[in-house]
Each structure stands twice: as structure tokens, then as C-alpha cells.
């Protein structure tokens, strides 16, 4: 018995989620067919399509369980975690804790470390650092207050540039987890300074690890090579790689990926290709990151034919193009037809565009003043069931305003607000900031500030 879930996106007259029967088999005692329980992959894919509309995501999440209660269907921990991530993305933390309590009441979907990794990540990304720390202290009631959870908290703090708070936790006497001398924790903090782009602090912490006797591993050296590369000193990264070889570390593909980029920046992509061949001769298999690094270096030099050849041949090494592979092409291509053809090729190849893909292309075409490809990308996004986020809406509205299509721009601006997304304040639309000031007042204030500083 096959059925198709139809998701009504616009009508308020009918229930939003319905089953339409393609072939019906009815129980003589029941007047209506019994819908089968959906598989987890279908539930996850549907939730992902509502990634930027938490209300519809939650409505679908609850509907699935309620409508299949007759067959004892229950969400798994994984689908709960995905729903938590969507809610927390929109700061619906009270609803998140309600879901966590639901999870805790069931043996089939108990909270796990991933559950609280989501909470740490979303709290810290919203700069609610104390809430993240308080969450860690609450983990005792879930029997999850351990070294793994502490590592996840430190990782979230470092990922979202709250490195000072991470250091305070690591080296605090009150911390219940002993992290002194722990290489993994120190690598997280080092990576945090790297994410912050504070190169002098990176160097200071690198030397501090030596003073404290922290045993540096290959991952430590890989992070510091990456730091040197991003700090504009790729030749020093190459030099550090030679030191790593002298120390007798078992080299892996991660350190080679960084070396390929460092040599490509300092000496050119042809030298990177030599290192790539050397790596394969040593029996180290390239990953998709290796190929994406080479594709990026080739695209930066406008050598698109060679990059495309690499894209076509990477399958020999068991690698398949990702959305990042295509982003390298989109970033450097300068002809709309060429970009659209590449975009179609990407979808036909089974690579699903991310929201970053849509935003990149909407911004690019909008900046060039081409509205037709802007709407082609927007329509394709809707056809693929992807819900636009604030960045996508703002890119579309900017393109419409630049072309003088104010009424149409206002329509999308209002649609954003209805979804709970924050539009940019625009003088042309008369939109206001969160504090209530109009874009005109903001511009006047900026001009007066500039005049005062010049005077």
C-alpha cells in the first residue's frame, strides 16, 4: 500500500499535512485507509525542508507522531535532535527544553550527547554563554555530565569565538572536569583563537602549550599550519610541515590538504599538483577536501577547464563533488549563462544546493543587475522544497530595490516579517530598525557622525 505525503504550503482552509491515497486498501471494519508509518529518512528530509520555518517544522513534527499513534510510531532521538536544532536556531529555547523533557520521559528517544551539543552550539551562537554553561551543569539529571559533554561545550565556545570564556573554564579551579594537559582540549582552544583571527594570541598559546608540557599531536601541528597559512605566512606553514616530517609523525591527508593550499598560495597551483601526486604515491588517499582545495586554487587562477576535468575524475578516488566543489566555480565565473549551466549540472549530478549556494548566486546576479537569473534561482529553490532564510530574502529584495521594483520588494519584505525573519532596514521601503528608527534617521545619524569626526 503506497501513499504520498502532500504538504500544503499556502492554503489555510485545509489541514496543512494530509495523506492522499494512490492505491487504497481498506479494513472492512474501518471506513478509511490506515496510513503507514513514515520512515525516518522521510521525516528528516521534510524537517530539513522547513529548516527556516520553525512553526511549520514543529507542526509537521507533532502531526507525524499524532497521526500514526495507532501503530505506536515515536520519533527517534535523531529526529528529536533535528527538531531541537531548528527551534534553537530561532531562539525558541523554552520549546527546546519542553522537547528535551519529552525525550527524557521515553526510553526509546532519551537525550544523548548530540542533543546537548545542539543546545551548546545554539546558545553560544546566540551569545548566551552563561545559558550554555548552566546547561552543562544541568546534565547531571541526564547522566551526561562527563568529559565528552565538557569537550562539546568548549568546542562550541571556541567555534563561535568565545575563546576567553573557554579558557576560563578550562583553567578554572571550579571546573569539575580535569582538562589541564589534555591535548584535545588545548587543540580546541588553539583552533578557537584561529577562528577569531587573533594571530598573536595563536602564537602565544602555541608557545604556552610547550611551557605547560602539553604533548602536541599531529592535529596540533595541522591547526597551527592552517593558522600560519591564513595569517598570510604560507611559507612558514611549509617550513612547519618539514619539521613535522623530521619529528617522525605518521602523516595523514589532513596535514597534506593544508600543505597543498599553503604551497598553492606561496608558489602556485602547479606546485600543489606535484604535492598531490606525491601524496598519492605515498599511499595517502585524497579526500573531497583535497580535491576542493585544488579546484579552488585552479578556479582562483581562472583555469576552469582543468578544474572541471578534476571534478569529473575525482570519482576514481572514491570522491564525489559536494556543494563546496561547485561554490569554487560560482565564485570565480563571470558569465551568467556559464553559471546557470553549472548550477543545472550540479543538480543533475545529484548535489543538492545549500542555502549558501542560493544566497551566493542571488547576490551575484543581483549585483550584476540581472533579474531574470535571480528569479530562476529563486524559483528553483522553491521547486526543490527549500525554505529561504533571511539572507536569501535580503538578497532578492536588494536586487528588486536596485531595479526600482519597490512594490514587489515590499511584498517579499512583508513575507519575511510574517515568517519571523528580520529584514534589513531600507530607506526605499520605509522599513524600521528593531528600535523603531527608520532607515532615513539611521542614514542622517551616520552622516552627522561622519561630519563630526571630520570636523
Of the listed ranges 176-180, 223-227, 316-320, 422-426, the least confidently predicted one is: 176-180
Exposure string for 245-284, b = 16+ CB within 10 A, e = fewer? eeeeeebeebbbbbbbbbbbbbeebebbbebbeebeeeee
In tens, the pLDDT along 270-307 reads: 999 999 999 999 999 999 999 999 999 999 999 999 99
The pTM assigned to this predicted structure is 0.76
| 387: pLDDT strictly greater than 50 | yes
pLDDT of residue 72: 77
Average per-residue pLDDT for the chain: 87
| pLDDT level of residue 120 (50, 70, 90 thresholds) | very high
Task: Choose between 15 and 135: higher pLDDT.
Answer: 135
Of the listed ranges 68-77, 85-94, 164-173, 370-379, the least confidently predicted one is: 68-77
| pLDDT level of residue 444 (50, 70, 90 thresholds) | very low
| pLDDT level of residue 237 (50, 70, 90 thresholds) | very high
Question: Cα separation of 357 and 351, whole Å?
Answer: 11
| 124: pLDDT strictly greater than 70 | yes
Domain ranges in the chain are 217-285, 287-344, 353-428
Exposure string for 299-337, b = 16+ CB within 10 A, e = fewer? beeebbeebbebbeebeeeebebbebbbbbbbebbeebe
pLDDT of residue 180: 67
| pLDDT level of residue 44 (50, 70, 90 thresholds) | very high
Task: Tell me the average pLDDT across 53-67.
Answer: 92
379 to 60, 170, 186, 405: CA distances (angstroms):
23, 48, 46, 18
Task: Tell me the average pLDDT across 147-156.
Answer: 95
Task: Tell me the average pLDDT across 335-358.
Answer: 96
| 11: pLDDT strictly greater than 50 | no
Amino acid at each position: 500500500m503506497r501513499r504520498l505525503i502532500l504538504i500544503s504550503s499556502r492554503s489555510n482552509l485545509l489541514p496543512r499535512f494530509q495523506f492522499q491515497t494512490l492505491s487504497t486498501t481498506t479494513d472492512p471494519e474501518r471506513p478509511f485507509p490506515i496510513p503507514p508509518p513514515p520512515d525516518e529518512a522521510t521525516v528528516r528530509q521534510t524537517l530539513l525542508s522547513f529548516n527556516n520555518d520553525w512553526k511549520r517544522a514543529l507542526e509537521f513534527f507533532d502531526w507525524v507522531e499524532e497521526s500514526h499513534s495507532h501503530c505506536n510510531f515515536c520519533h527517534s532521538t535523531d529526529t528529536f535532535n533535528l527538531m531541537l536544532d531548528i527551534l534553537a536556531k530561532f531562539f525558541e529555547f523554552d520549546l527546546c527544553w519542553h522537547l528535551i523533557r519529552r525525550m527524557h520521559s521515553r526510553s526509546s528517544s532519551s537525550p544523548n550527547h548530540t542533543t546537548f551539543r545542539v543546545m551548546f552550539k545554539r546558545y553560544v551562537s546566540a551569545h548566551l554563554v552563561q545559558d550554555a554553561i548552566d546547561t552543562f551543569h544541568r546534565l547531571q539529571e541526564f547522566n551526561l555530565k562527563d568529559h565528552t559533554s565538557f569537550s562539546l561545550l568548549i568546542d562550541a565556545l571556541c567555534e563561535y569565538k568565545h575563546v576567553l570564556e573557554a579558557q576560563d573554564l578550562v583553567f578554572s579551579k571550579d571546573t569539575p572536569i580535569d582538562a589541564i594537559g589534555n591535548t584535545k582540549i588545548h587543540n580546541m582552544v588553539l583552533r578557537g583563537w584561529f577562528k577569531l583571527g587573533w594571530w598573536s594570541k595563536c602564537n602565544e598559546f602555541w608557545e604556552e602549550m610547550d611551557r605547560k608540557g602539553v604533548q602536541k599531536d599531529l592535529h596540533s601541528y595541522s591547526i597551527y599550519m592552517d593558522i600560519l597559512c591564513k595569517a598570510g605566512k604560507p611559507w612558514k606553514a611549509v617550513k612547519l610541515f618539514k619539521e613535522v616530517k623530521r619529528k617522525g609523525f605518521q602523516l595523514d591527508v589532513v596535514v597534506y590538504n593544508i600543505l597543498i593550499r599553503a604551497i598553492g598560495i606561496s608558489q602556485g597551483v602547479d606546485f600543489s599538483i606535484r604535492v598531490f601526486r606525491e601524496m598519492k604515491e605515498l599511499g595517502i588517499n585524497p579526500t573531497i577536501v583535497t580535491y576542493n582545495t585544488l579546484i579552488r586554487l585552479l578556479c582562483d587562477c581562472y583555469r576552469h577547464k582543468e578544474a572541471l576535468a578534476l571534478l569529473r575524475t575525482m570519482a576514481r578516488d572514491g570522491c564525489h563533488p559536494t556543494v563546496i566543489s561547485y561554490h569554487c566555480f560560482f565564485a570565480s565565473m563571470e558569465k551568467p549563462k556559464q553559471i546557470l549551466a553549472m548550477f543545472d549540472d550540479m543538480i543533475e549530478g545529484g548535489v543538492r544546493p545549500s542555502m549558501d549556494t542560493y544566497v551566493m548566486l542571488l547576490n551575484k546576479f543581483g549585483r550584476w543587475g540581472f533579474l531574470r537569473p535571480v528569479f530562476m534561482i529563486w524559483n528553483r529553490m522553491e521547486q526543490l522544497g527549500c525554505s529561504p532564510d533571511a539572507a536569501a530574502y535580503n538578497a532578492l529584495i536588494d536586487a528588486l530595490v536596485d531595479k526600482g521594483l519597490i512594490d514587489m520588494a515590499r511584498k517579499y519584505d512583508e513575507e519575511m516579517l510574517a515568517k519571523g525573519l528580520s529584514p534589513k532596514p531600507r530607506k526605499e521601503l520605509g522599513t524600521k530598525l528593531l528600535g523603531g528608527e527608520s532607515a532615513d534617521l539611521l542614514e542622517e545619524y551616520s552622516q552627522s557622525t561622519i561630519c563630526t569626526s571630520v570636523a
